[in-house]
Amino acid sequence: MSRVRPSVHAGNRHYSLVCSSCGARYADDGLLLDCARPHEPAFLRAEYESPFDSPRTGLFRFASLLPVARTFPDVPGPVVLRAEKLGRALGLDRLWTAFNGHWPERGAYLPTCTFKDLEAYTVLGRLPADPPVLVIPSAGNTAAAFAWAATLYRVPCLIVVPAPALDGMRFPGPLDPCVRIVVLDGPATYSDTIACAELLSALPGHRAEGGARNVGRRDGLGSVLLAAVEAIGGLPDVYVQAVGSGTGALGVHEAARRVRAGREKAPRLMMCQNAPFAPLFEAWRGRGAAPADREREPLARELTNRRPPFTVRGGVREALVESGGDVLCVDNSAALAAMALYEETEGIDIEPGAGVALASLAEAVREGRVRRDEVVLLNVTGGGRARQGRDLRLVAAEPWLRVAWPDGGEGGARLVAGLVGEASVGAAYSGAARSWGARSEAVASESVRSGAAQSGADR
């Protein structure tokens, strides 16, 4: 069962939420996304005020620096490793990788093979005891992470994905009926799922999960930095990550500000995007908007967020300026070559997004923007998916609803909202979500750790 503080409610959590713009302070109810005062768009940030009783291992060993009201047993965390062979290939003496995926020999057991698992469990741990239906748009990885975490703990979710995302949605077991997946067939993109989610969140009993606005997401992903400090013994000089919205890099930057000692500098952020659709790269370089008609072309489709939080207070531009960072961009061929290099040197497959980050780092080293002697942390945001497919019996996700997305997208979001509304999803979910003790610790632990239990059984 989950570990819960007695009578957890807004007002007795171990943290407060503070507005990045006006400094207004809020007691969190587990769902708050925005400041109530009238001003420019601004993120809320968590300020941690007291310890939280937490397990000694896994993601929730960092619970005192996570905005949660409860923790879950045996949830794996990131694994930070020295990458000497890869470092030699790149010309770096002190390269570390945060490996987020499935790699049993190195202790990595993230169930859906990307660091999105870290945000999913943190967001669920932040929720109130009787949560609404969370509406989550995704290009695939976030969808998989929330679907599996919500399955284990019976949290009602409505997840919207473009059809290609289904290929990566395979799990150690079947999804619970409280998790409903809406698939957009045809030419729909990640941006289209976001448009649908905005309308679906207005349905009775539904709430937007919030994306980058959700402190659970940012701080959950920021656990990568906390694990790195444990392994390295201090902050890295440079942090490299592929980004769509930049949520993970923002979480790392916020975590670094909390844990740095004295005058220790926060890591220089290097955010990496995949040409030809790279909105953050274009915005940072002052080149205007990325052309929307190129959104389907990148190898790493999970990076194609058309509306990243670039100018929001507490957002991407501010973090880049504060850290002295940069946004880099590489094409598909460079990402593929980097994926092959990682498997050759380190011995495990990685996802396209991680390939984009590695290719960008290689280019930065060649151009002298990263020195040989700097401590570099490369976030391998996903890996081991091919290995997991060999190790485990995986079950493909079954969509709850498939919608033919109209050419041009005109009226598509309204069509989806109408179909979901007609199906009375809110009523169908009633009773599906139970209290946080609904499933026994043994069942939850077995499911989350199925990678360890089944590893090698089906080769």
Whole-angstrom CA distances from 80 to 358, 377, 421 are 16, 9, 44
Complete DSSP assignment for 83-130: -HHHHHHHT-SEEEEEEEEEEGGGTEE-TTSBTHHHHHHHHHHHS-SS
Cα 84 to Cα 237: distance, rounded to the nearest angstrom: 17
Cα 107 to Cα 115: distance, rounded to the nearest angstrom: 14
Cα 344 to Cα 167: distance, rounded to the nearest angstrom: 25
**CB count in 10 Å sphere of residue 446:** 16
Cα 431 to Cα 129: distance, rounded to the nearest angstrom: 13
DSSP state, 264? P
Task: Give the pLDDT confidence score for residue 174 in this predicted structure.
Answer: 96
Helix (H, G, I), strand (E, B) or coil at 253: helix
**Cα Rg of the chain (Å, integer):** 21
CB contact burial 46-63 (16+ within 10 A = b; e otherwise): bebeeebebeeebbbbbb
Q: Return the sign of the alpha-carbon dihedral for residues 31, 37, 42, 46.
A: negative
CB contact burial 140-172 (16+ within 10 A = b; e otherwise): bbbbbbbbbbbbbbbbbbbbbbbbebbebbbbb
Contacts with 427 (C-beta within 8 Å, 6 or more apart), sequence order? none
Complete DSSP assignment for 192-252: HHHHHHHHHTTSTTEEE--GGG-HHHHHHHTHHHHHHHHHHSS--SEEEEE-SS-HHHHHH
Give the phi and the psi of residue 122 in degrees, each rounded to 5: -70, -45
Contacts with 60 (C-beta within 8 Å, 6 or more apart), sequence order? 54, 66, 68, 71, 72, 75, 77, 121, 125
Cα 348 to Cα 355: distance, rounded to the nearest angstrom: 12
**CB count in 10 Å sphere of residue 208:** 19
Q: Nearest CA to 34 among 318, 417, 314?
A: 314
Task: Give the pLDDT confidence score for residue 430 in this predicted structure.
Answer: 46
Q: Nearest CA to 144 among 167, 127, 126?
A: 167
Task: Give the pLDDT confidence score for residue 3 in this predicted structure.
Answer: 53
Looking at the DSSP assignment, which residues form a beta bridge with residue 114? Answer: 382
Task: Give the pLDDT confidence score for residue 448 in this predicted structure.
Answer: 39
Contact 365, 90 (CB under 8 A): yes
Contacts with 251 (C-beta within 8 Å, 6 or more apart), sequence order? 217, 218, 219, 220, 221, 222, 223, 224, 225
Task: Give the pLDDT confidence score for residue 292 in this predicted structure.
Answer: 87
H/E stretch holding 425 reads: helix 425-429
Q: What is the pLDDT along the chain (459 residues), one digit of tens a residue?
A: 455 444 444 557 999 999 999 999 999 999 999 999 999 999 999 999 999 988 999 999 999 999 999 999 999 999 999 999 999 999 999 999 999 999 999 999 999 999 999 999 999 999 999 999 999 999 999 999 999 999 999 999 999 999 999 998 999 999 999 999 999 999 999 999 999 999 999 999 999 999 999 999 999 999 999 999 999 999 999 999 999 999 999 999 999 999 998 889 999 999 999 999 999 999 999 988 888 889 999 999 999 999 999 999 999 999 999 999 999 999 999 999 999 999 999 999 999 999 999 999 999 999 999 999 999 999 999 999 999 999 999 999 999 999 999 988 889 999 999 999 887 544 455 444 444 434 434 334 444 344 443 333 333
Query: Dihedral through CA 301, CA 304, CA 305, CA 310, nearest 10?
Result: 130
Tokens, residue 455: 């590893």
Cα 246 to Cα 310: distance, rounded to the nearest angstrom: 8
H/E stretch holding 4 reads: strand 3-4
Tokens, residue 227: 């694990």
Dump pLDDT digits (tens) for 41-88. Answer: 999 999 999 999 889 999 999 999 999 999 999 999 999 999 999 999
Task: Give the pLDDT confidence score for residue 2 in this predicted structure.
Answer: 55
Q: Give the residue ranges of DSSP H helices in 285-411.
A: 316-323, 332-346, 352-366, 385-391
Whole-angstrom CA distances from 308 to 166, 289, 355 are 23, 11, 21
Contact 113, 384 (CB under 8 A): yes
Q: Nearest CA to 63 among 108, 145, 125?
A: 125
